[in-house]
Amino acid sequence: MPALIETAYVEAVKLLNRFVDPAAASQVAELVQAWKPLPDDWERVFMPEAAEKARIAYKPLWVSPPPPLPRPGQTVVRVRVADAADFAADNARAKAFPGGFTSIASSLVPGNVWVAWEYLAPGESAGMSFNGLVYLGAPDGSDGRFVWFPKPWKFIDF
């Protein structure tokens, strides 16, 4: 696994496990708010023709973002990661994501790592699924952070 993808995976697992930790329940709103894109993030994640569409379409979401919470009993987190270029290649990493990602592959800036995750009850194979976290940062994790663009195909392919 390339360094940035591996770093994003490790950081995502750490972060998303906080959502199933009862001790972190009071921090959920703060965690989600930290994922709000900064003004320059739109162009870092989306190609120019899609960046402005995304900025406008996601604006209502960030007024009151819905926290991606597990259902009761879902204490296991399964994380998948893919480089934006994987969606154009439609490779194994891309196939672990919703198909909408391949439909907007040309609108995504290659080199960014996208995260999809699922909360599962122990022993179960399916659960609550979420996607759209993007890891922005260096492979060593020195300046890495996540921004959230859930279901981006619904926001830029309309």
pLDDT digits (tens, 9 = 90+) for 147-158: 999 999 998 875
- Sheet containing 128-136: give its strands across: 76-83, 113-120, 128-136, 145-148
Q: Are 104 and 152 in contact (CB under 8 A)?
A: yes
The phi and psi torsions of 12 (rounded to 5 degrees) equal -65, -45
Q: How far apart are CA 27 and CA 118, in angstroms?
A: 19
User: What pLDDT is attached to residue 143?
Assistant: 74
Provide the token pair at 138: 């260096």
| pLDDT over 80 at 27, yes or no | yes
Residue 40's CB is within 10 A of a number of other CB atoms, namely 9
User: What pLDDT is attached to residue 140?
Assistant: 57
Residues 54-111 have pLDDT tens digits of: 999 999 999 999 999 999 999 999 999 999 999 999 899 999 999 999 999 999 999 9
**Mean pLDDT along residues 33-47:** 96
Residues 113-154 have pLDDT tens digits of: 999 999 999 999 999 999 999 999 865 556 789 999 999 999
| pLDDT over 80 at 112, yes or no | yes
Q: How far apart are CA 115 and CA 120, in angstroms?
A: 16
75 CB burial (10 A radius; 0-12, 13-18, 19+): middle
User: What pLDDT is attached to residue 2?
Assistant: 75
Q: Chain-wide mean pLDDT for the chain?
A: 93
Q: How far apart are CA 129 and CA 100, in angstroms?
A: 14
User: What pLDDT is attached to residue 141?
Assistant: 54
> Residues of the chain with pLDDT > 70: what percent?
96
Closest CA to 83 of 122, 121, 46, 109: 109
Domain extents in the chain? 3-156
